[in-house]
Every structure is written in C-alpha cells, then in structure tokens.
Amino acid sequence: MKPIQYRVPVPKDRSVFIQEDVLEKFYPYMHRHEEYQLIWIMEGAGQLLVDDNVHEFEKGDIFLLGSNQAHVFKGRLGGLVKSVSVFFNLKGALSNILNMPELSVLLDFVAKSGRGFKVPANDLTHIRRRIEILKKSDRLDQLVNFFYLLKSLNKISAQLKPLSGVSTVEFGLGGSLRISSLCKFLEDNYKENISLGEIAEKANLTPQAFCRYFKKSTGKTFVAYLNELRVREACRMLSGKEEDSISIVAYNSGFNSITNFNRVFRTVLGVSPKTYLTNYQNSLYR
C-alpha cells in the first residue's frame, strides 16, 4: 500500500507547531509528511503501523516519527482519542538555528532518529512535562523550550530503539564518498548474489580490511547491512500484496532459500514472514 503524502497545516510564522487533537478516531490512512512528529497519546490505545513494523500503544505513550516515515495509528473501537503532537522540519529556518555549533549535538540526534522511536516507560513522566511546558509557551519561549525538549530526548538516546526494524544508513554532504558509493551499489544490486570478495574489490581493499572499514563507517557488518536491505524489500512486497507466495517474495528479494529467508527475517524483525504478514493485514484492514 502506497502511503499518502500528507501536508501538515503548519503556520508560516512557526518553526515548531503544536497540535492538539480530540477525535472519534485517528487519521485512518497510511501516510507520511515532511515534518518530524513527536506525538503524546493522551487518550486511546491500539496499534501503530510504521514502515515495516507493528507496535502496540496505550494511553500515555510518546512516539517520534521521522520525516517522511510512513505510519498510521489504528485505535481500538470505543471512546475518543486525544493526542498532542509537536511538528518540526529540519529544512528552512530551524535547520539554520540547529546548525549553530552550540546546538549541533541536537541536530545530530534528530538526524540519527529518522526511523523514529518510542520513549521508554521510565522516561515518560519527564518528557510529558517537557511537552506540557512547550504547549503552554509561545514565540521565543516556545523555541527555547523546544530545544530543552530535544536535549531531554538526547539524554536518553542510548535507550532508544528505532520503530522500524529495517533501516539503511543515510549520509549527508560530509559523508565519505567511498562508503556512499558502496552503499549505493548495494541498494541497486542487493537482489544479486554479492560476495564479500566482490564488494571488497570494488572498495580496493582486502576482505578483512573492507569488513573493518564497512563496520566502522555504517555501524553494521556487510552481511547485516545486505540482509536488512533484502528484508526491507520483502516487507515492501508483503505489505503491498505484490506476490501471493512467501517463497516467491524470498527469492525476489535476494535470498537463495526459503529457510535462510525465514531465519534472517526473524533475526531482523523478531517475527516470521508469515506472522509479519498476518499482523500487518489484521492491523490495516480490521
């Protein structure tokens, strides 16, 4: 299912936009928007579908959704849903401010949180208080309190896990041209049988040196990175109903056996392909 590109009604005179919603149900369509969204669920419970994963949510939970990260909240029947969302965009005026040396650590934190996260239970009270303060402030105070909110989130960054189990490394303008080109090659050819020797030769390194270089540059081993690309494609096909057979999805996403596909898929996402598909369909179409 292709997500809808949604336009958040951010006022032109705001770098940070606070939106409170009290509705009969959440917006019902899988969608994405350019803005990051920090959302506090004040009332309601159900499931959050985001990229390739399904997460349970309940009253009091707080999630960050990355820029253009596909998502939809599916609430349980009965009762109103209430939420407070903080929308912000790294493009434009806010980006210029966050690029200041004193705030660069916050920009780095946000940039690394592009796959979203759920605030751990032990930190919810403090983050809720920060959102409350932000919600009650205006103009300059609102911008300052937004930075304090980011600072609080950055302090717990080591505990945060991406909402999407499959992710790829994004490189900015300062990134290494060599690692960027290698990752681009993998993005374009992950369905092929790429050997360690082949990719090491492209980097003009020995296999051992390449493994050390790739892990240092991406934070992942070559095999783990390649497997995540393949699982991401498998999730896309399973979610989009492009194939009827899980075995066909396995081979068309670059795996050479259904057994290996099942093992890797479970390692990356924590569930089997069949369970993933069942959970996704039940959440999306109930």
Residue of 198, 257, 229 whose CA lies nearest to 52: 229
Q: pLDDT digits over 143-199, tens only?
A: 999 999 999 999 999 899 888 865 545 444 344 567 878 888 998 999 999 999 999
Instruction: Tell me what pLDDT residue 173 has.
Output: 38
**Rounded to two decimals, what is the model's pTM?**
0.68
Q: Specify the pLDDT at position 183.
A: 86
Class of domain 177-285: mainly alpha
- Kind of pairing, strands 31-32 and 4-5? parallel
Whether residue 85 contacts residue 35, with contact meaning beta carbons closer than 8 Å, is answered with no
CATH class of 4-159: mainly beta
The C-alpha torsion from 103 through 106 and 108 to 110, rounded to 10°, is -140
- For CATH 2.60.120.280, the residue range(s) in the chain are 4-159
pLDDT at residue number 172: 44
Q: 36: helix, coil or strand?
A: strand
Which residues make up the CATH 1.10.10.60 domain(s) of the chain? 177-285
Spell out, as residue ranges, where the chain has pLDDT lower than 70.
1, 52, 165-177, 240-244, 282-286
Geometric angle at alpha carbon 187, from 181 and 188, rounded to 5°: 90
In the structure encoding, which two tokens stand for residue 225, read together?
A: 């990175």
